[in-house]
Amino acid sequence: MKTLAGWILSSPATLAVSLFLIIPVAATISVTFTAPGGTFAPYVDFFSSGFQRTVLWRTFEIAAITTVISLILGLLTAYVVSRSAPWMKSVLIVLAVFPLLTGVVVRSFAWLIILGRNGVLNNSLEWLGVIERPLSLLYTQTSVVLALIYIFIPLMILVLIGVLENIPDDLLQASASLGASPTRTFVQVVLPLATPGLIVGAVLVFTASFTSYATPHLLGGTRQMTMGTFLHQRAMTSFDWTSASTVAAIMVVVIVTTVLVMTRLAKRLNPMAS
């Protein structure tokens, strides 16, 4: 009886997920297997192109760099926030969440103003005498990574704050009483216990960075094309739906593989799982 009630209660959510997620994704991927030239012809064409392999690798590289830097900065920031006084903690959390109140396009456009040839950074460096002429900072991989870190690091901080707050103070005090330095306590006590949050945050940032469109489009342009901008070009400019579906299918495979690998890694590294 309880099983039947559970199925009835979960059926609306299951139906919604099937209609708006599973079926559209399956339909998109199925297009690639019915294209002329053979079952796997679109994938062979994709990986036979040096340009398209470069786009895939560039996207993976940007997402990986963004994830690693966000992990480091997010962990340090979240640790400071979690150990702050209650009133200060509230202020810091608000400051961390504040960027999320504006859209991705607005936050990405802000970096155009910062990194432009007549932007804030170039004008400041010229005023200080560091450079004689404006630097070309836009439409580079660095500009895309900087913007993605700024956009997604609040997610990392919020995830890690919740995990770090649940670490008992008794463990930290016991480590200190046994002669461990703050650095050793952080590495050997805090870091292992924060593993679940690190894995979840890494998955969120990586998948969001890998599938991002607006930020690479504004700050990378055609010079630093990623899978998201390439997908948009094939679908909306070239109207090559088979190629666009192939790109989408490859993105889905990369994301699902990443989630499975990170989940497996989390189970192996989580000290609470044993």
The yes-or-no verdict on residue 271 having pLDDT over 60 is no
User: What are the structural domains, with CATH classification, of the chain?
Assistant: 40-269 (1.10.3720.10)
What is the value of pTM for the model shown? 0.88
Helices 41-48 & 50-82 angle (0-180, nearest 10) = 80
The yes-or-no verdict on residue 53 having pLDDT over 80 is yes
**What does the pLDDT read at residue 38?**
65
Candidate from 79-83, 133-137, 184-188 with smallest mean pLDDT: 184-188
The yes-or-no verdict on residue 134 having pLDDT over 60 is yes
Q: What are the tokens at 38? A: 């053979």
Q: Is 238 left (phi over 0), alpha (psi -120 to 50) or beta?
A: alpha
**What does the pLDDT read at residue 274?**
45
Query: Percentage of the chain with pLDDT > 90?
Result: 34
Mean per-residue pLDDT for 1-21?
A: 74
**Residue 171 pLDDT level (bands cut at 50, 70, 90):** confident
pLDDT tens for 209-236 read 999 999 999 999 888 899 999 999 998 8
**What does the pLDDT read at residue 94?**
86
Q: Other CB atoms closer than 10 Å to residue 15's CB: what's the count?
A: 10
Rounded to whole angstroms, the Cα distance separating 66 from 110 reads 18
Q: What are the tokens at 90? A: 């509230």
Q: Amino acid letter at 68?
A: V
Tokens 């890998």 correspond to what residue?
210
In SS3 terms, the chain reads as: CHHHHHHHHHHHHHHHHHHHHHHHHHHHHHHHCCCCCCCCHHHHHHHHCHHHHHHHHHHHHHHHHHHHHHHHHHHHHHHHHHCCCHHHHHHHHHHHHHHHHCCHHHHHHHHHHHHCCCCHHHHHHHHHCCCCCCCCCCCCHHHHHHHHHHHHHHHHHHHHHHHHHCCCHHHHHHHHHCCCCHHHHHHHHHHHHCHHHHHHHHHHHHHHHHCCCHHHHHHCCCCCCCHHHHHHHHHHHCCCHHHHHHHHHHHHHHHHHHHHHHHHHHHHHCCCCC
Rounded to whole angstroms, the Cα distance separating 51 from 252 reads 20
**CA end-to-end span of the chain:** 34
**Residue 6 pLDDT level (bands cut at 50, 70, 90):** low
Rounded to whole angstroms, the Cα distance separating 115 from 137 reads 6
pLDDT tens for 91-116 read 888 888 888 888 888 899 899 999 98
Q: Phi and psi for 79 in degrees, rounded to 5? A: -65, -45
Query: Percentage of the chain with pLDDT > 70?
Result: 95
Rounded to whole angstroms, the Cα distance separating 61 from 3 reads 45
